[in-house]
Amino acid sequence: MFDSILFYLMLIILLGIVSQWLSWRYSLPAIVIMSVAGLALGPVFGIVDPQNDFGNLFQPIISIAVAIILFEGSLSLNFKEIKDLKRPIIRITTLGALIAWLLGSAAAHYVAGLSWSVSLVIGGLFIVTGPTVILPLLRQAKLKQRTAAILKWEGIIVDPFGALLAVLAFEIVQVANSDNEGLTAFLPFFAASIFAVFLGWALGKGIGHMMERGQIPEFLKAPGVFVTVIACFTITDEIMHETGLLAVTAMGITMANMPISSLRDMRHFKENMSLLLISSIFVMLTASLTMDVLMQVFNWHIILFVILMMFIVRPLSIWLSTIGTDLTTKERALVGWIAPRGIVALTVSGYFAERLLAAGYEDAEMLTSLTFALVFATVCAHGFSISWLAKRWGLAVEDKPGILIVGSSPFTIGFAKVLQEEDVPVMIVEESWRRLRKAREADIAVYYGDLLSEGAEHELEITPYQYMMTATDDDAYNTLVSNTFIPEIGRANVYQLRTETHRQVDSNDYAKSLGGNSLFSEDVTWESLHEKMSNQYGFRRTQLTEQYGYEQYEAERDQRAIPLALIKKNGKIAFYSKGNDPTGEAGDTVVSLAPQKLNKNK
């Protein structure tokens, strides 16, 4: 009844998204859960065998998905993001990759027992990390901007380079075992690589200019870019295998550094698509493995090779390549440890295993087992350790969720001071230096500039801030900022302080689709709060205990007092808003705005 490709495809996608949800719900590494789900679905219980079930469609599906994922990742590589990190990133992606290739090849030959020909190919492939595994880890660990940028750029840039390095090594092997001599034998490889970069750049420039000139309607921008990415990948990959990854990376970086106004809107859609593809493809690949491959993983040669790659090759390549850079010892240590391998390593190793076996290298049959062992070991070890190490070494943002307040005024400054006293990370964003003066005097973290500007996108690190409160006196600007950051922060965590100029409408759809959640009660506006601030109102914190519970607080509080937020004992914050009246318990703190005579702690 359920023996159909459609059912298997649904099951794979469902397990991928459920794995992502479990990761979010229980703070576990998503790639580990996806790997386990795929193994259970495929080799363990034998429910699905994607390689056989999908037949000839299996490899094209994987290839196109990887191309889209890599393009989406490269679409975030704006050079302004790394103006202070160019030197270490260039060193890591060039010298570091070369050292990792040579050391990895030596480990494959002397420890795993592979021939030099096979070792050079697999050594080049194993320098890749890639967005399929790095981006989920960065999302989970909440690293500080510098370290996260290095890992992200390295993963995305080295991904196509690693595949090309494996191709180059394979070409070297073929030349060494043939009558061809000289550099002329490598001309097709270099020509195809140069063409891939040129085509990616040209297509990126072309479609970018068409979007800016209005030659592509809004409803066709995302589909048009997707079709272009697929065409870019397919054309170059047909000319020479694996050059397609280089082409889509060049296309993504080109578009990322163009002044395309609609790029932010497209990026959110592409992030969602990328998440869906990563989840599904990782489950599909692990489900396609066989029990023979899994059993071969426990070969002591493979185990020792994986240990050397994780604890010697990777750290040594990073330490040597970053000598003389401004990276701290802890940053070098974390980057030197985190290098999970993922989809590209699994897919490309299968391709080269077939090519090498056909060329007569019998030891190439070990490549799939070797690759899976390294992939599974790295995603587990790095997935479970990255958050702990980053926090221990001070390279992660604070555990407590913070609040980003847009707009500096007497009310927001006073509210921020109260939150800060409760050990809640808070920052005020304001484009008027004069309005920020009181906030600076109160020792509150501030950002001077427009939150919607390109500069803020690259300079302001919003990872520590789980909540956003837009509270300027311009309701239209508040709505615009809220709508812009809802996809990134989440609708449930974006709040908006309404103004008296806010257009009131009867339709419930208006409030749900535009702006953030309405702060406080319906009759509370920006103007009314500041009027109360000038009429002897002040901020009050009420600590709830077993003896003094929330019901008693509600019964005794002055009805003129306005409950603002409930700071839970676990650090989370619940704002009082339209349709949300949180209830506190012992250990929580209620923050309210009350007449000054009541402005003392219970």
Residue 506 pLDDT: 43
Mean pLDDT: which of 104-108, 179-183, 384-388, 396-400 is highest?
104-108
Q: Rounded to an integer, what distance in angstroms lies between the CA atom of residue 541 and that of residue 552?
A: 15
Residue 426, strand partner residues:
403
Residue 232 included in any domain: yes
**pLDDT band of 335, cuts 50, 70, 90:** very high
Residue from 299, 311, 315 nearest 372 by CA:
299
The domain containing residue 486 runs over which residues? Answer: 402-598
Residue 454: pLDDT band by 50, 70, 90 thresholds? low
Torsions phi, psi for 492 (to 5 deg): -65, -15
Band (336; pLDDT cuts 50, 70, 90): very high
What pLDDT, on the 0 to 100 scale, is given for residue 269? 67
How far apart CA 225 and CA 74 sit, in angstroms, is 14
More confident position, 580 or 39: 39
Residue bearing tokens 């601030």 = 533
Residue that wins the pLDDT comparison between 108 and 368: 108
Give the integer Cα–Cα distance in Å for 72 and 267. 7
pLDDT of 501:
58
Check whether residue 310 and residue 259 sit in a common domain: yes
Residue 137: which residues within 8 A CB-CB, separation 6 or more? Answer: 29, 31, 151, 338, 340, 382, 383, 386
pLDDT in tens, 516-558: 888 887 778 888 888 888 888 888 888 888 888 888 888 887 7
Average pLDDT, rounded, for the chain: 84
Of 160-164, 179-183, 275-279, 286-290, which range is least confident?
Answer: 179-183
If asked whether residues 180 and 229 sit together in one domain, one would say: yes
List all residues 6 or more positions away from 149 whose beta carbon is below 8 Å from its beta carbon.
81, 82, 85, 89
pLDDT-based confidence at 330, cuts 50/70/90? very high
Residue 225: inside a domain: yes
- On whether residue 397 sits in a domain, the answer given is no
Mean pLDDT throughout 26-45?
85
Q: Please tell me whether residues 175 and 253 are part of one structural domain.
A: yes
Query: Which has the minimum average pLDDT: 135-144, 366-375, 379-388?
Result: 135-144
Does residue 268 register a pLDDT over 60? Answer: yes
pLDDT value at residue 599? 45
pLDDT of amino acid 507: 41
Integer Cα distance of 424 and 341 in angstroms: 36
Q: Residue 377: is its pLDDT beyond 60?
A: yes
Q: Give the rounded percent of residues in the chain with a pLDDT score beyond 90.
A: 21
Between 217 and 523, residue with greater pLDDT: 217
Higher pLDDT, residue 429 or 183: 429
Say if CB 196 and CB 164 are below 8 A apart.
no
- Average pLDDT, stretch 446-457? 80
137-146 tens-digit pLDDT: 887 777 888 8
Nearest to 91 by CA among 158, 43, 21, 174: 158
Which residues neighbour 485 within 8 Å (Cβ) at sequence distance 6 or greater?
451, 462, 468, 494
How much is the average pLDDT of 95-118?
92
CATH number for the domain spanning 593: value is 3.40.50.720
Question: Could you tell me if 379 and 416 lie in one domain?
Answer: no
Pair of tokens at residue 89: 């990133």
Mean pLDDT of all residues in 301-307: 93
Last residue of a domain, one of 365, 392, 419: 392
How would DSSP label each residue in 401-454?
Answer: -EEEEES-SHHHHHHHHHHHHTT--EEEEES-TTTTHHHHHTT-EEEES-TTSH
Last residue of a domain, one of 368, 392, 416: 392
543-577: buried (b, 16+ CB within 10 Å) or exposed (e) per residue? Answer: ebeeeebbeebeeebeeebbbbbbbeeebebbbbb
Based on the fold, state whether residues 367 and 421 are members of the same structural domain: no
pLDDT at 600: 46
380-393 mean pLDDT:
89
Lowest mean pLDDT among 39-43, 81-85, 149-153, 383-387: 81-85
Say what the pLDDT of residue 466 is: 86
Nearest to 190 by CA among 234, 252, 240, 153: 240
* Domain match, 106 and 169 both: yes
CATH number at residue 367: 1.20.1530.20
Q: What is the pLDDT of residue 180?
A: 56
For residue 406, what pLDDT is reported? 93
Is the pLDDT assigned to residue 317 strictly greater than 90?
A: yes
Choice between 197 and 259, residue whose per-residue pLDDT is larger: 197
**Which residue among 358, 392, 426 closes a domain?**
392
Kindly tell me the burial class for residue 600, based on how many C-beta atoms sit within 10 Å of its own C-beta (0-12, 13-18, 19 or more): exposed
Q: Residues 567, 400: contact at Cβ < 8 Å?
A: no
Are 353 and 416 found together in one domain? Answer: no
Residues 364 and 418 occupy one common structural domain:
no
Q: What is the pLDDT of residue 602?
A: 44
Greatest mean pLDDT among 60-64, 80-84, 396-400, 511-515: 60-64
Residue 134 forms part of a structural domain: yes
Name the pLDDT band for 354 (thresholds 50, 70, 90). confident
Work out the percent of the chain whose per-residue pLDDT is above 70: 92
Q: How many domains does the chain have?
A: 2
Mean pLDDT of 429-455: 87
Which strands, in side-by-side order, build the sheet including 402-406?
445-448, 426-430, 402-406, 465-470, 494-496, 517-518
- Residue 405: pLDDT band (50, 70, 90) is very high
Judgement on whether residues 413 and 536 belong to the same structural domain of the protein: yes
In this prediction, residue 2 carries a pLDDT of 62
Q: Which residue has the higher pLDDT, 521 or 339?
A: 339
pLDDT at 223: 86
Residue 375 sits in the same domain as residue 421: no
Task: Give yes or no: residues 371 and 502 share one domain.
Answer: no
Residue 557 pLDDT: 79
> Are 355 and 488 in the same domain?
no
